[in-house]
Amino acid sequence: MTVNQKVAVVTGSSSGIGLETSLTLARNGFHTYATMRNLEKSTNIKEVANKEGLPLYPIELDVNDDVSVKNAIDKIILATTESEERRIDVLVNNAGYALFGAFEDLSMSELKAQFETNFFGIVRVTQAVLPVMRKQRSGIIVNISSIAGRIGFPITSAYISTKFALEGLSESIAYELEPFGIKVVIIEPGVIKTNFMKRIVIAKNALNANSSYSKLLEKFQSVLDSMFQKGTPAEEVAKVILHAVTTTNLNPRYTVGEDAASLIDMKKKMSDGEFHKLMLENILK
C-alpha cells in the first residue's frame, strides 16, 4: 500500500511526543488517529490539522479503561471502511507518565497506578489492535520506551521498572508476531523537551519533609530540570518514528538524542561497577 492509504494510531497525543508524532505521520500521508484520554486537550492539534488540511482525527481513548480502548479501536476500524478495507498499519504506544519518589516512599497503590498506565495500558491497546494486524498480515507496533528502559536512575524506580518491563515485552512478542508480518520497534529517547516535568506525580510519602530521601529527591529534580532545558526537541523523536515505520530496513531499537546514545555507549564499554560509580559522581554529586 502507498503511505497515503495507511492508518496510524498514536496514544497520548494531546502534547509532547504524541502530538508531534501524530502531526508528523499525518503530514507524511498517514491517516492518523490521535488518541487522548481527554478530548478537551485536542484544541491545539485540531487547529494545526485544520490549518494544514491534514488527515488527522482526534479520538478519545483512555489506556487504563478496557471499554474506552475497545470503543476507540472499533471506531477507528469502522472509519477506515468508508474508503478502504478495515486496517491499522501503525500503532504508536506513547501514553504514560512518571511517578517520582524513593522506592521506600512509594505506596503499593501508587506503584500499581504507574504500571496500569505505562505497562498495562500498552498491553491493553496492543491486544486490541493485534487481531486487525494479524488478519491483514502486516503492521508495525512502536513502543515508546526510554533510555530509562536500559539504565536505572534514583528516585524513578517505579517509572523505570515499567520501561524495563516494556522492553522485555517488546522483545518477546516480536518473535511471536514475526510470522504474521508484524514488526515491533522500541524507541528510546533521552531527555526530551516536553511538558514531562509538569506532569510528574510525586509520591505522597516523598512530599513529607521528614522523608529520609527528601534531599535526594530535591537534588535529582534539580539535575533533571537543568537537563530538560537542554533536551532534544520532541520533533526529533517523531522523525525517528516516521523513519522506523517507512524504512525497508527496520531496526528493533532506536535511541533518540545525544545523551541517550552517549549513556548507552558508556554502559556497553564499562563494567557495571565503573558505570555505577560514574552515575553516582554525575547525578548525585
Distance CA 70, CA 124 (A): 9
- What lies within 8 Å, CB to CB, of 285 at 6+ separation is none
173: Cβ contacts below 8 Å, ≥ 6 apart: 126, 141, 184
- Report the C-alpha gap between 229 and 4 in whole angstroms: 36
CA 231 to CA 235: how far, in whole Å? 12
Q: Write the CB contacts of 177 (distance below 8 Å, at least 6 apart in sequence).
A: 130, 133, 134, 141, 183, 184
| Tally of CA atoms within 13 A in the half-sphere of 20 that contains its CB | 17
Helices 234-246, 16-27: axis angle to 10 degrees equals 50
Task: Return the C-alpha cell found at 121.
Answer: 495500558
Name the catalytic one among 33, 57, 97, 159: 159
Evaluate whether 185 touches 244 at the Cβ level (below 8 Å). Answer: yes
What is the C-alpha to C-alpha distance for residues 40 and 44, in angstroms, rounded to an integer?
10
Q: Could you tell me the three cell numbers for 225?
A: 530540570
Give the chain's end-to-end CA distance (angstroms, integer). 53
Q: How many CB atoms lie within 10 A of CB 230?
A: 9
97 in catalytic set: no
Which active-site residues does the annotation give? 159
